[in-house]
């Protein structure tokens, strides 16, 4: 909600809990001939009273007046046409879009996905994959070719061939294979399909689901994602490490090191490990020995990580550490060297209730949110009765040409088609409307199979209109939503008109503000004040000299130049008009003209020169502009209300009001 509306709408939150003595639909009052029911008034009134508290007759009378004022302002805004202004319509549409979102969420599906994600979050997996590249919009033939290739590779593994070998033979993941050295980059060993450790939300949803359903050492069937097919082998499954902070003592193995060189590094890391077990301080050994200069100065501490941010060997070592402060045995990371890892901090996953909010947020940003959208669409289809003419799409396989991928498709022939595409509730959608949809969506893009493109666009066309259909019934189906939208509508109108009539006017209407000030200036009075100067002197020996200058009538700035000219800045002053509590030293001395006695302070002395006593007088407009402007706004508000009350007749049914009380 916009901050500008928060104050205005505090009392406009719907609580449908009206008096049992009077029917909600009973007329309570008329404003300019328009009926206001008991329900409308009471739903707003009771929000401002503690639930269950007995209704106070006086407070209800007072609130009734506020409510009438509110309704009068909204009425005038409507008669001025503020509800037809494009900026108002756009702003209200923006709020409506936000307010409607909860009505397009399938709570059962959301709860299922949150529970599923939380269960998966309890485990960290390590997996390898063989990747077969297929575009999301690939033709059925290309998709089948890739699938058959994946099945061929899987059959070889099941017959006993090594997974690593099949990765090297089949996988189209560039990181799987070795990268030869060039002038631009050094040699890099491929990962042989090893993706390391990961947890929920680290992979695309179909891949994640397949991995969590595959047992350690087992091979999945080919899994389709937006990237292609994957054969997944799960190699480890450990209790979730959560987020953690570790430190490491690192000994690198140089590129091209001989076996003897590597053995020396291994012997050294073993020696350091023995020292740690004997009680040596981890941080001291890190500073003296670690080859990771970026972390050694901090005791080897690395930034907080999750399992998908470190090499799998490193994660495997961390998983063996049971307690914060303990360290692992030496672990080798290929291509880097040896590490001893110390657990500094661990933040385990929380309970479901603790994780719920974050899980929901992650799901809404994840591809699995489509599951929620699909569930909502399925519900709407069932509720309103969805039917489609599957043959109506056939015409478009011929009418749509490749020119649509350059944004130049000629839709003339297609616009002449009028067969029913689908029907939901009492609304029908034809081929012509689908054609208009295609025209609105055409743009320069990668060329696709026409049949697949048309099918995908027809689904998008149907889903968009299904959601729009439901959106059009929100106010009818959900009284809460209808009331909330009215509150936002009226609140925006009230804000805009109040800004015109009161807030901005009080600032822009300088003549009106000046006139208001002149008529009310004695309401903004200064009390008794003094015109004075407060001198602070670090060297008390110079006090008399300064006082002589004061008595001679020399100006404070000139005194400052005389005293501070050939020595350190020992003198400072503050001068002006002072009220009580403006300055502690002014409050300390007697308010009589002349120079006060010295006041001893920590860094020297202070004395005050009272120049004259000022009698009470009105503040100038500039001196009290903030307060005067606020009062002028209140004045404008009251005048506006007086005008509205005179213009629009208000008739309250006192008998009904008495029953409510």
> What is the per-residue pLDDT across 422-443, written as a single tens digit (0 to 9) for each?
999 999 999 999 999 999 999 9
Residue 538 lies in a domain: yes
- The CATH number covering residue 311 comes to 3.10.50.40
Q: Looking at the predicted structure, is the pLDDT value of residue 5 above 90?
A: no
Residue 375 lies in a domain: no
| Cα gap 321→343, rounded to integer Å | 7
Q: What is the pLDDT of residue 58?
A: 65
> Mean pLDDT across the stretch 100-109?
94
Strand partners, 251: 338
Mark whether 68 and 34 lie in a shared domain. Answer: yes
Condensed to tens digits (0 to 9), the pLDDT of residues 611-639 reads: 999 999 999 999 999 999 999 999 999 99
Number of other residues whose CB lies within 10 A of the CB of residue 173? 22
H/E segment holding residue 521: none
Q: What is the pLDDT of residue 180?
A: 77
Q: How confident is the model at residue 9 (pLDDT cuts 50, 70, 90)?
A: very low
Residue 356 lies in a domain: no
Residue 12 lies in a domain: yes
Closest C-alpha among 377, 353, 371 to residue 205: 371
Q: How confident is the model at residue 559 (pLDDT cuts 50, 70, 90)?
A: very high
Q: What is the pLDDT of residue 145?
A: 96
Residue 454 lies in a domain: yes
Contact 467, 104 (CB under 8 A): yes
Number of domains in the chain: 5
Q: Find the domain containing 514 and state its range.
A: 1-79+479-523+624-661
Mark whether 224 and 251 lie in a shared domain. Answer: no
> Mean pLDDT across the stretch 128-146?
94
Domain boundary, last residue among 290, 322, 348: 348
Residue 155 lies in a domain: yes
Tokens of 386: 């969805």
What value does the mean pLDDT of the chain take?
Answer: 92
Tokens of 571: 């003198």
Lowest model confidence (mean pLDDT) among 183-197, 370-384, 646-660: 183-197
Q: What is the pLDDT of residue 414?
A: 96
Mark whether 262 and 132 lie in a shared domain. Answer: no
Q: Got the DSSP string for 38-101?
A: HHHHHHHHGGGS-TTPPPPHHHHHHHHHHHHHHHHHHHHHHHTTGGGSHHHHHHHHHHHHHHHG
Mark whether 592 and 610 lie in a shared domain. Answer: yes
Q: How confident is the model at residue 21 (pLDDT cuts 50, 70, 90)?
A: low
Mark whether 519 and 532 lie in a shared domain. Answer: no
Q: How confident is the model at residue 646 (pLDDT cuts 50, 70, 90)?
A: very high
Residue 114 lies in a domain: no
Exposed e or buried b per residue across 612-648, where buried means at least 16 C-beta atoms within 10 angstroms of its C-beta: eebeeebbebeebbeebbebbbebbbeebeeebeeeb
Mark whether 648 and 603 lie in a shared domain. Answer: no
Q: What is the largest CA-CA distance in the chain?
A: 112
Lowest model confidence (mean pLDDT) among 179-188, 448-457, 522-531: 179-188
Mark whether 417 and 469 lie in a shared domain. Answer: yes
Condensed to tens digits (0 to 9), the pLDDT of residues 465-479 reads: 999 999 999 999 998
H/E segment holding residue 630: helix 625-647
Residue 97 lies in a domain: no
| Cα gap 197→530, rounded to integer Å | 76
Condensed to tens digits (0 to 9), the pLDDT of residues 239-295 reads: 999 999 999 999 999 888 899 999 999 999 999 999 999 999 999 999 999 999 999
Q: How confident is the model at residue 61 (pLDDT cuts 50, 70, 90)?
A: confident
Select the more confidently predicted residue: 1 or 515. 515
- The CATH number covering residue 593 comes to 3.10.50
Q: Looking at the predicted structure, is the pLDDT value of residue 17 above 60?
A: no
Residues 6+ apart with CB under 8 A from 430: 417, 418, 419, 420, 421
- Say what percent of the chain tops pLDDT 90: 83
Residues 6+ apart with CB under 8 A from 551: 595
Task: Find the length of the chain.
Answer: 661
Domain boundary, last residue among 169, 204, 239: 239
Mark whether 633 and 509 lie in a shared domain. Answer: yes
Q: Looking at the predicted structure, is the pLDDT value of residue 16 above 50?
A: no
Tokens of 210: 């397949």
State how far the alpha carbon of 595 is from the alpha carbons of 522, 547, 590, 591, in Å: 32, 8, 10, 10
Contact 212, 123 (CB under 8 A): yes
Domain boundary, last residue among 348, 376, 406: 348
Mark whether 305 and 399 lie in a shared domain. Answer: no
H/E segment holding residue 377: helix 369-384
Condensed to tens digits (0 to 9), the pLDDT of residues 331-386 reads: 999 889 999 999 999 998 999 999 999 999 999 999 999 999 999 999 999 999 99
């Amino acid at each position: 909600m916009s901050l500008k509306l928060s104050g205005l709408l505090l009392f406009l939150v719907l609580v449908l809990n009206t008096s049992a003595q009077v029917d909600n639909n009973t007329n309570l009052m008329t404003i300019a001939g328009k009926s206001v029911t008991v329900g409308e008034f009471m739903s707003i009134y009771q929000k401002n009273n503690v639930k269950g508290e007995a209704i106070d007759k006086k407070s209800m009378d007072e609130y009734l007046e506020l409510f009438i004022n509110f309704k009068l302002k909204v009425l005038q805004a409507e008669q001025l046409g503020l509800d037809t202004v494009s900026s108002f319509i756009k702003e209200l549409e923006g709020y409506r879009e936000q307010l409607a979102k909860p009505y397009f969420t399938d709570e059962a599906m959301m709860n299922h996905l949150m529970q599923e994600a939380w269960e998966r979050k309890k485990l960290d997996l390590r997996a390898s994959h063989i990747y077969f590249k297929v575009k999301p919009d690939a033709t059925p033939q290309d998709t089948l070719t890739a699938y058959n290739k994946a099945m061929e590779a899987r059959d070889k593994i099941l017959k006993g061939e090594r997974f690593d070998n099949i990765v090297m033979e089949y996988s189209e993941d560039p990181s799987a294979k070795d990268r030869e050295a060039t002038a631009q980059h050094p040699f890099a060993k491929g990962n042989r399909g090893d993706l390391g450790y990961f947890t929920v939300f680290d992979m695309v949803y179909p891949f994640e689901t397949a991995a969590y359903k595959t047992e350690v050492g087992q091979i999945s069937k080919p899994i389709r994602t937006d990237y292609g097919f994957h054969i997944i082998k799960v190699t480890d499954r450990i209790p979730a490490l959560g987020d953690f902070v570790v430190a490491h003592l690192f000994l690198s193995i140089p590129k091209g090191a001989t076996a003897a060189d590597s053995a020396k590094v291994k012997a050294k890391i073993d020696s350091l490990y023995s020292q740690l077990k004997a009680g040596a301080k981890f941080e001291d050994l890190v500073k003296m020995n670690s080859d990771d200069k970026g972390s050694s100065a901090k005791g080897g501490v690395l930034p907080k990580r999750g399992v998908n941010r470190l090499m799998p060997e490193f994660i495997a070592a961390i998983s063996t550490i049971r307690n914060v402060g303990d360290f692992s045995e030496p672990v080798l990371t290929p291509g880097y060297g040896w590490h001893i890892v110390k657990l500094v901090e661990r933040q385990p996953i929380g309970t479901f209730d603790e994780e719920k909010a974050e899980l929901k947020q992650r799901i809404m940003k994840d591809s699995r949110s489509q599951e929620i959208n699909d569930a909502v669409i399925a519900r709407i289809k069932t509720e309103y009765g969805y039917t489609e003419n599957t043959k109506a799409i056939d015409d478009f396989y011929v009418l749509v040409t490749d020119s649509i991928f350059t944004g130049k498709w000629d839709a003339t022939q297609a616009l002449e088609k009028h067969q029913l595409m689908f029907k939901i509730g009492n609304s029908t959608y034809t081929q012509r409307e689908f054609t208009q949809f295609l025209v609105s969506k055409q743009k320069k893009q990668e060329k696709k199979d026409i049949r697949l493109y048309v099918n995908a666009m027809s689904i998008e066309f149907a889903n968009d209109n299904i959601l729009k259909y439901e959106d059009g019934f929100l106010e009818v189906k959900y009284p809460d939503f209808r009331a909330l939208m009215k509150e936002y509508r009226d609140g925006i109108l009230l804000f805009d008109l109040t800004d015109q009539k009161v807030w901005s006017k009080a600032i822009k209407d300088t003549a009106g503000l000046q006139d208001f000030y002149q008529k009310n200036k004695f309401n903004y009075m200064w009390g008794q004040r003094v015109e004075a100067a407060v001198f602070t002197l670090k060297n008390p020996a110079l006090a008399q000299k300064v006082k002589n200058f004061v008595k001679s009538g020399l100006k404070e700035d000139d005194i400052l130049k005389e005293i501070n000219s050939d020595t350190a800045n020992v003198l400072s002053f503050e001068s002006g008009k002072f009220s009580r509590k403006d300055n502690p030293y002014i409050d300390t001395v007697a308010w009589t003209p002349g120079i006060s006695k010295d006041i001893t302070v920590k860094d020297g002395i202070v004395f005050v020169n009272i120049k004259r006593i000022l009698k009470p007088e009105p503040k100038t407009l500039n001196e009290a502009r903030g307060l005067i402007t606020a009062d002028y706004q209140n004045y404008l508000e009251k005048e506006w209300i007086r005008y509205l009350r005179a213009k629009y007749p208000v008739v309250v049914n006192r008998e009904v009001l008495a029953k409510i009380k």
